[in-house]
């Protein structure tokens, strides 16, 4: 399925591929930034350099919620960059600053754009050409809803097709950020780093180069974890450190976690501790 066309409203010329990221503030204020690819872009990192494609300084009301890309050499305090265009063929990335946030904050995107033929990444049959990872470490923000909670230490994976493995938070088209621990002020500033690469880079593990004791998949899971260490005892804890399960791993190296509800957990086998997610 080819992704539907997207445009940057103020661009003189549209880039070959455009990935809008939509934000909605807790008081319904909205804003959009755009990651784009074009073979003819200048790709000077950290500097506004492709105004023809909309990568230019735009005046905003800085007293209201707004999103923008962090770039060098801002000429005025009330101007920002909302487009990050690149000609890189291995990674499309940027740091997005968010100011005057009123929680909860909703982030949306069109995952079908990762299937576009305009992307510089190779085709993988019926799978997407791209996937993305988002880091927001250092923030007080969690990703909800509560049933599949992700903490600020969890990277956010953006895809509709997991290659094999995800060690973090998985969302297809929407992420809801909120202050799970009630630590944030009424209005806050935060930032996220997004990186878009060839499909499978972030959601794959190299099984051929791993020993059986290194196996740990699928993650997220529903009923079983393949952990490799047969006949050892595994201990499972919730995010508050409460012991929920003590179980001997079966001869096939599998652990039955079907009794646990949807959520985030930690498993300890010997001295090794890993995090995993259960989804129903």
How many Cα atoms are found within 13 Å in the side-chain-facing hemisphere of 62? 9
pLDDT at 280 over 70: no
pLDDT at 208 over 60: no
pLDDT of residue 43: 65
> If you count them, how many residues does the chain have?
280
What residue spans define the domains of the chain? Answer: 17-198, 207-278
Q: Which residue has the higher pLDDT, 201 or 112?
A: 112
Instruction: pLDDT band for 54, please (50, 70, 90 cuts).
Output: very high
pLDDT at 259 over 80: yes
pLDDT of residue 185: 62
Mean pLDDT of all residues belonging to the chain: 82
CA angle 148, 165, 105 (to 5 degrees): 35
Provide DSSP, 101-138. Answer: E-SSEEEE--GGGGG-TTSSSPPBTTB-SEEEEEE-TT
pLDDT of residue 69: 93
pLDDT digits (tens, 9 = 90+) for 1-53: 344 458 999 999 999 999 999 999 999 999 999 999 999 998 665 556 789 99
Under 8 Å between Cβ of 263 and 238? yes
Q: What is the reported pTM?
A: 0.71
pLDDT of residue 209: 41
pLDDT of residue 153: 72
214: alpha, beta or left? (left if phi > 0; alpha if psi -120 to 50): alpha
Let me know if domain 207-278 sits in CATH 3.40.50.300.
no
Under 8 Å between Cβ of 134 and 152? no
Q: Report how far residue 188's alpha carbon sits from residue 201's, in angstroms, rounded to the nearest whole number.
A: 33
């Amino acid at each position: 399925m080819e992704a539907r066309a997207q445009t940057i409203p103020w661009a003189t010329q549209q880039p070959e591929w455009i990935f809008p990221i939509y934000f909605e503030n807790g008081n319904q204020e909205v804003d959009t930034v755009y990651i784009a690819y074009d073979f003819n872009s200048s790709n000077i990192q950290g500097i506004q350099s492709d105004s023809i494609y909309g990568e230019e300084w735009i005046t905003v009301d800085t007293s209201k919620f707004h999103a923008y890309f962090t770039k060098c050499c801002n000429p005025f305090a009330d101007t920002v960059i909302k487009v990050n265009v690149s000609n890189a063929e291995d990674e499309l990335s940027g740091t997005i600053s968010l100011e005057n946030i009123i929680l909860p904050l909703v982030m949306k995107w069109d995952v079908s754009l990762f299937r576009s033929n305009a992307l510089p990444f190779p085709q993988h049959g019926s799978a997407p050409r791209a996937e993305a990872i988002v880091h927001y470490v250092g923030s007080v923000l969690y990703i909800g809803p509560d049933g599949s909670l992700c903490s600020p230490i969890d990277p956010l994976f953006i895809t509709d097709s997991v290659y094999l493995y995800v060690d973090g938070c998985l969302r297809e088209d929407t992420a809801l950020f909120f202050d799970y621990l009630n630590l944030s002020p009424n209005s806050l500033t935060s930032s996220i780093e997004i990186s878009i690469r060839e499909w499978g880079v972030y959601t794959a593990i190299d099984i051929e180069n791993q020993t059986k004791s290194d196996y740990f998949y699928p993650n997220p899971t529903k009923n079983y974890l393949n952990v490799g260490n047969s006949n050892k005892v595994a201990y499972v804890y919730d995010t508050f450190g409460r012991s929920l399960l003590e179980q001997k791993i079966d001869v096939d190296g599998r652990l039955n976690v079907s009794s646990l509800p949807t959520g985030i957990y930690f498993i300890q086998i010997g001295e090794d501790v890993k995090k995993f997610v259960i989804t129903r």
